[in-house]
Amino acid sequence: MANFELTREYIENLRLLIEQKDEETLLQLLGELHPADIAEIYEELSIEEAKYLYFLLDDDTAADVLIELEEEDRLRFLKALPSEVIARRFIDKMDSDDAVDVLSELDEERQKEVLSFLNDISVAGDIVDLLHYKENSAGGLMAKELIKVKESWSIITCLRSMRRQAEEVDEVYFVYVVDNDGILKGTLSLKKMLLSATDTIVKDIYNPDVISVNADVTSEEVSNIMNKYDLVVLPVTDSIGRLVGRITIDDVVDVMREEAEKDYQLASGITHDVEVSDSVFRHTKARIPWLMIGLVGGLFGSRVISVFEGNIDDNPQVAFFMPLIAAMGGNVGIQSSAIMVQSLASGSLGIESNLKKLLKELSVALLNATALALLVFAYNMAIGSVFALTLTVASAMFSVVMFASLFGTFLPLFLHKLKIDPAMATGPFITTLNDISGMFVYLLLAAYFFGVFV
């Protein structure tokens, strides 16, 4: 199976086949595809077409496709199906972490109904356990399916038990070693098993250096740990160290990607996760809130400027540099806040004291502010601006860059302390604040210098 590329021709052909109800050809086409590809195709079809295709799939594939669908599309499907079908056709075929993801999108009433239709009580029990965890925690990310062996077993006993356990698990990456109380002791690599005699005791060959997390740890921390230690699977324990589940890297990659996209979008002034192919309404909804903040801020800024109407009337050149000062405040503020946001997100703030961080940011700001102020000073001298204007622009540039740097550094830290996403501090919010304060400082300095020199 090569990597599949969706084309318009492919979709058109598929639509034709659906219209002709050509089951045979369709089944053959679908058979060649990965569930992720089928999910991609679904998003290009009408609901009716998609439904028709969906019921051609076997149960396992149908469950996999459901997981790969976008949340909205999935919800629409689930709403249209009776609880029994959801239970037997989907939940029963899924890994426990996926089952929980799907179930948690339904309301509580519906969840209970679906669970009551599950055949296997142990599957239902696992899912109920998992539903207790917060979505953004290690417990919310983990699956119950894993392979574990006791430290007292021999390799041959392990193999026998693993055969049984493997029937429930999709892929075997690691074998976990526990003691009689179920406390996680370490891992047994498949490589070690391949290389050891069959009567070797697990205790003598397992690797006790296992990195694990408590189920309450946040998914951000999970992602940082798996990334730092280059892990593919991370075992999860309860508060007394018993092995309760495992998190695989693909789920964490999704978390990471969403986190990075969210930060990027906040920095760009977009509130929802939108893609080019989303509807006009969704695009507008994602963009308008930040534009409103910009608008209100700008209107407020216009009031600030109007206070200085007399000055502008007397010296209209003051207006020339207003957009420059406003823009530089915004630019510097975004830079400073972006660096903080990224360091907070990756947990790489280091062990420097806050005082040292403050001093460093002050030095960077001082360097940038001095350089930029000198440049505009030289520019205004060169083009022969009046001296009051030259002084105003240079000193306003200096103040604005200093202020925006410090503000951009400390606002994310402050939000982080308040448990608000520090990424809120980037983008239009900080630009607007710096625009207004920059304008105010600039016009105040203009009033002062033009008062002294003119």
Is 129 or 238 the residue whose CB approaches a second copy more closely? 238
The DSSP call for residue 242 is B
List, in order, residues 6 or more apart from 266 with CB less than 8 Å away.
421, 423, 424, 426, 427
By beta-carbon proximity to a second copy, the closer residue of 106 and 169 is 169
Query: Nearest Cα to 105, choosing from 78, 124, 130?
Result: 78
| 3-class secondary-structure state, position 354 | helix
> Between residues 125 and 294, which has the closer beta carbon with respect to a second copy?
294
Q: Least distance from C-beta 244 to a second copy, angstroms?
A: 16
Minimal distance in Å, beta carbon 258 to a second copy?
A: 11
What 3-state class would DSSP assign to 175? strand
Least distance CB 408 / a second copy (angstroms):
10
DSSP 216: T
Among residues 48 and 313, whose Cβ is nearest to a second copy? Answer: 313
DSSP 183-207: BEEEEE-HHHHHHS-TT-BHHHH-B
Min dist. Cβ of residue 56 to a second copy (A):
18
Nearest to 373 by CA among 337, 321, 333, 408: 321
CA dist list (Å): 81 to 76, 90, 123, 267, 381: 9, 11, 21, 39, 75
How far apart, in whole angstroms, are the C-alpha atoms of residue 202 and residue 162? 13
Residues 6+ apart with CB under 8 A from 449: 388, 389, 391, 392, 395
CB of 92 to a second copy, least distance (A): 19
- The single-letter code of the amino acid at 366 is L
d(CA 435, CA 323) in angstroms, rounded, equals 9
CB of 274 to a second copy, least distance (A): 6
Identify which of residues 19 and 170 has a Cβ nearer to a second copy in the complex.
Answer: 170
> With b meaning 16 or more CB within 10 Å and e meaning fewer, what string describes 7-29?
eeeeeeebeebbeeeeeeebeeb
d(CA 200, CA 153): 9
Closer CB to a second copy, 83 or 434, in the complex: 434
User: Shortest Cβ distance from residue 238 to a second copy (Å)?
Assistant: 15
Residue 355 beta carbon to a second copy: minimum distance, rounded to whole angstroms: 13
Q: How far is the CB of 25 from a second copy (least distance, A)?
A: 20
Kindly tell me which of 140 and 408 has the beta carbon lying closer to a second copy: 408
- Closest distance to a second copy from the beta carbon of 43 (Å): 8
Q: Which is nearer to a second copy, 60 or 108 (CB)?
A: 60
- How far out from the chain centre does Cα 271 lie? 13
3-state DSSP helix/strand/coil % of the chain, to nearest 5? 65, 5, 25
- Alpha-carbon distance of 14 to 22, in angstroms, equals 10
Nearest CB to a second copy, comparing residues 110 and 242? 242
Q: Which two tokens stand for residue 379?
A: 């520019």
The nearer residue to a second copy, 71 or 254, going by C-beta atoms, is 254
Q: Cα–Cα distance between 321 and 230 in angstroms, integer?
A: 50
Nearer to a second copy by Cβ, of 124 and 449: the residue is 449
Report, in Å, the least distance between residue 173 CB and a second copy.
6
Element (H, E) at 60: helix 59-68
Half-sphere exposure (Cβ direction) of 174: Cα atoms closer than 13 Å = 21
